[in-house]
Each structure stands twice: as structure tokens, then as C-alpha cells.
Structure 1
């Protein structure tokens, strides 16, 4: 057993994080094997500054903090792995391969079924965190860049009003 009191509790936040990332991994694995069913499509926002994220220099220059990609009509080479997923997407008729690590995810939204997750960046001081998820809305893609933040993510369900037609 641990010697310090801070290690004597269950870290539900990180456990939930891992479970939600596993959910996204399972969804993308199914899509890689069977394609997108029905009207499903995804808005996936990730931290372009993550050390393991791989994207073309021109995309990184254009989206220096966060980038939202859409997985819908045209994509190929979707390969889901332990550390993240790779996918080739079309940017203005230019196919570009990307690698998106699981722990770089900021949001995952499937507006066709009003499902969304947000992995919040926050410091250890939770006094500034707004506990009301009704106040958390995802801006429309592409998302504005936020300042680089290396703090852990916390997952929560988000409002999908910004994606409704």
C-alpha cells in the first residue's frame, strides 16, 4: 500500500478519462472495419502541440494550438492503435495523413445522435472550474486556438447546441 495520503484514494477522474477514450477507440475501430453507419460523423478536436501528434507543417502553422477535424464523407487509412489513431483526411483536395494521440483529444462529437465529450484542461486549483456542464459549449469548427496547457484533461459531457442545424 502507499505511504502518502494522496495515493490512498481512487482516482475516478483518470479512470473515467481512460474509459471515455476506450469508448472513442472502440467507435473508431468499428468505423475502420465497417465504415460510418447511417448519418454518423465526427468532429474531433485535438491539441496540435501534443509531442506525439503528427500533422503537416502547414496544418500545424495554421492551427498552432487546437485543430478540429471532421470524419464524414471522405477519409482513408483509419488505423486505430494503443496510443492514438492515424487517418488521412482531405484538406482542399489535398490528402494529408494525421496521427492523433488519445491523450491529445479535446472534444469528440457525433452531432447525428447529439453525443459529445469534452476533455477539459484544468490546473490543480479547481476553484476556477465551472462545475455546470450547461455552461460548456463547443464552438463551431474550426475551433479557436487556446494557449498551450500541459495540465491533465478531465472529461465531461457537453452541450451540442453549437452543432444543431
Structure 2
């Protein structure tokens, strides 16, 4: 019988989803600072996703929303977030589980995270995300200084290299 192994891939992915949760939580409390805005891509058919049927028909696999100028009532819960957005001048409430998110990006600072969709049975791990995870800022070692005049560079993080095949 094979021994149980630590699932570092799941641990890292859960921690990175905590970054998404923390960013959304701060925005829900204080609004979007400066030029920050978010692109959130999620699996539209994932269990717990609640979007209007016409959007589900238009985006049967994946949908991207933008949180920038016109979003309302952003609320965070243990395993999902809710937000009201305008589609063709009609306000619609969306419910998006954190496990459904496949990409989170803030283009204003060239930051993006890419996720493997969570298998619904594993979603309890996502619910266990701390409401206030510690965030660590990574400094680019090639940069001589942290001057605001220099463009900020981000990176897309993918965890495929660490997954069991």
C-alpha cells in the first residue's frame, strides 16, 4: 500500500487562492485603490456558481469578469464571493466560489495568478483559507531600487510543473 504524501501542490494553490480572497476582502472594505482593477476568470459550470441563465448559455465553460468601475455589493464569504455587475445596463448578482476561479489578474501592477480548477470534493480545503492570510511582497532581485519611476513587472504563476501526472 503506498504511503500518504504531503500534497504541496494543493497547499500552494490554497495559499495563492488566499491572496485572491485577501485582495477582494480589502477592496470590499475600502474600494479599489489607485488604478487597481481585477480580471477574474472562473468556470461558469462549477458547482455553486450562480449567474443568470443567459450568461451561462453565452459562457458555458469559462467567463471573465472585470471589477473596476461599475461593481456593487462585493461580499466575501468562506468559500465564495458575491458581486453585482452591469450587463447591457441590467444589474445582475453573481456568486462565484473561490474553487471555480482559474485566473486572477490585476493588470495595473502586472500581477496574475493562474489556477487549476478545484475538484468539488476538494473545495473544503478552499473554505479553510484564513480570512486574513499573511501576504509577502516579492522583490525583483534584478531591480537596483524600488523607485516608482520604473515599471513594475509581474509574473504569471502556474503550478502544472508540481502536479502529479
Structure-2 residue corresponding to 1:75: 71
Matched, 1:13 2:21: no
Q: What is the correspondence of 1:42-61 to structure 2 with a 5 Å cutoff? A: 42-61=38-57
State yes or no: 1:88 paired with 2:84.
yes
Distance in 1, Cα, partners of 2:116 & 2:23: 21
Calculate the TM-score normalised by the size of structure 1. 0.70
Residues 36-56 of structure 1 show CA distances to partners (whole Å, capped at 9, x for unaligned) of 000000110000010110000
Contact 1:121 1:151 in 2 (8 A): no
Matched, 1:118 2:110: no
For these two proteins, the number of residue pairs brought into alignment is 126
Deviation at 1:121, TM superposition (A): 5.3
**Cross-structure match for 1:66:** 62
Aligned to 2:150: none
Counterpart Cα distance in 2 of 1:71 and 1:6: 44
Q: TM-score when scaled to structure 2?
A: 0.70
Alpha-carbon distance between aligned partners in 2 of 1:107 and 1:54, rounded to the nearest angstrom: 18
For residue 97 of structure 1, the aligned residue among 88, 93, 96 is 93
C-alpha displacement at 1:6, in angstroms? Answer: 4.3
Preserved CA contact (<8 Å) 2:103 2:112: yes
SS at match of 1:32: helix
| CA RMSD, 1 decimal | 2.3
Unpaired runs of 5+ residues, structure 2, are 123-155, 159-165
2:157 corresponds in structure 1 to 157
* Moved beyond 2 Å, runs of 4+: 149-152
- Indicate if the aligned counterparts of 2:103 and 2:113 stay in contact, CA closer than 8 A: yes
Query: Which residue is equivalent to 1:139?
Result: none
